[in-house]
Amino acid sequence: MDLSESTVRERARAYTETEPLYDVERQHVETVPETFAGDEYGRRDAQWIVRWYFRRYLGEYPDRERREREEAFRDNEFDDVIDALDAAVDAVGVKNDDSANVDDALDALTALDGVDVAVASGFLQFLAPSRFVAIDRRTWEVLAAAGELDDAYPDPPSAADYRRFDDACRAVMDRTGVDAWTLYRALWRSFEEVPGEDS
């Protein structure tokens, strides 16, 4: 699997042309960082990210598990959601760079019902879209096929697994000169190229 700069950029472009959720994702990439850094957001803003994490599979994710997670998240006290998001925003920092404290952000987010490390990484992707990529089987397996990770997707991933995944993503971003949002789109789109995988 080739993750050269030209391939990453071409596949990210293909994502924008073919993925049905791209327009709404792009809007959230542009608005979520400021929204959650401020005080003017509601429960549905946070619920959108949990729903996105599962629904971007367009029906391929087990429906019962998706519903259970969404319902569990919906049952959180909203003050707890605000506290977790505030802590995650503080941990990520405004620069979205090497000073980001991934462990603190994951700890805050996974304290919420319905949020494991994988879903928490979805929050990180939208809180700091130039810095973080959401972890999932697709993105992990593309990185593994490219030789950036050396084992199968851990289901479910731990915080340590996410740190390894994040290191691999950052290595590709450094080599190719792309940001995390571009890399995410390229990895998601490249999954159909992984040997033995179906899109």
Mean pLDDT of 75-80: 98
Encode pLDDT of 114-172 as tens digits: 999 999 999 999 999 999 999 999 999 999 999 999 999 999 999 999 999 999 999 99
Asked if residue 198 has pLDDT above 70, the reply is no
Provide the terminal-to-terminal Cα distance of the chain, rounded to the nearest Å. Answer: 15
Write down the pLDDT at residue 108: 97
Residue 99 has pLDDT above 80, yes or no: no
27: which residues sit within 8 A by CB, 6+ positions away?
A: none
Angle (CA) 132-134-140 rounded to 5° is: 110
Q: What does the pLDDT read at residue 19? A: 96
pLDDT of residue 199: 43
Rounded CA-CA distance 43/178 in Å is: 32
Which stretch of DSSP H or E encloses residue 110? helix 102-110
The residue ranges of every structural domain in the chain are 5-193
Q: What are phi and psi of 168, to 5 degrees?
A: -65, -45
- Residue 158 carries which side chain, given as an amino acid letter? S
Q: Which long-range contacts (CB under 8 A, 24 or more apart) does 31-39 make?
A: 32/126, 32/127, 32/129, 33/126, 33/127, 33/128, 33/129, 36/85, 36/89, 36/127, 37/89, 37/94
Residue-wise pLDDT for 27-72, tens only, equals 999 999 999 998 889 999 999 999 999 999 998 888 899 999 999 9
Mean pLDDT of 174-199: 89
